[in-house]
Structure 1
Amino acid sequence: MIDHLDHLVLTTSRPQACIDFYTRVLGMQLESFIGGTPPVERQALKFGHQKINIHVQGSEFEPKAHLPVPGALDLCFIASMPLQAVIERLQQAEWPIVEGPVLRTGATQKIRSVYVRDPDFNLIEISELV
């Protein structure tokens, strides 16, 4: 029944720091769009064929998760470059690595990963297929 993930929603308490991390550090593209009921301007972070919609804590769009809170996500992204290049980019951005590189089991095969935390303390795993 389900084919793939289209988007997910990230609730942030620090929208500017959130956008900076996902665009400057991870290389995603910021997109503004009109959506919701009533239609309002919203923001999303695009990468590949997916996106992350941004909700600001206390100003979430309806409908929303039952308990939308910053820092509750644990996400794994497959990098478009070798993991060593990811590590170098994180070091250049002075973004601390929490753990890794370590071997893990991904959705389709083994992966090698590093872990970081975004400005809301969500756990972000960045991986390469091995």
Structure 2
Amino acid sequence: MEEASAPATWTVPAKYGFTLDSQCGERALIGRFQVTVQDDKVVRAEGLDDSARRALMLRVADLVPTLRQLEAQAESARSEGTGMVKIERDPGDAHPTKIEIDRSSAIDDEECYTIEDYTIGLASEVSPSPSR
């Protein structure tokens, strides 16, 4: 009997949600965020801790990325060959569960993301601007 293997690539669903834990480096995107994505755009981002709430108060456009954007960042850093890139994936559907990027040319530039609570097809809850 053959075991089913994990897909080689992740198929991005039309609507999904996840918790993003971003803890490394000196960047605006630090903290735990609850994120809802629809049609490859973040339609809702909620700060789950003080750091995340402060980050969202900056009102920086597109501060909280989609999983596809995080993957693209990692692949861009990998193709530049400027440091260490590590992507861990879910064995079931290959969505990213952890992404680490450390460009060797700068100090405090690390990016570490842990993706949890990944859910496909959430109820529509669109807010006009990601906040609170």
Q: Which has the higher contact order (CA 8 A, sep 6+)?
A: 2
TM-score tier after normalising by the smaller chain length: under 0.3
Q: Which of the two has greater strand per residue? A: 1
Q: TM-score, normalised by structure 1?
A: 0.28
Q: TM-score, normalised by structure 2?
A: 0.27
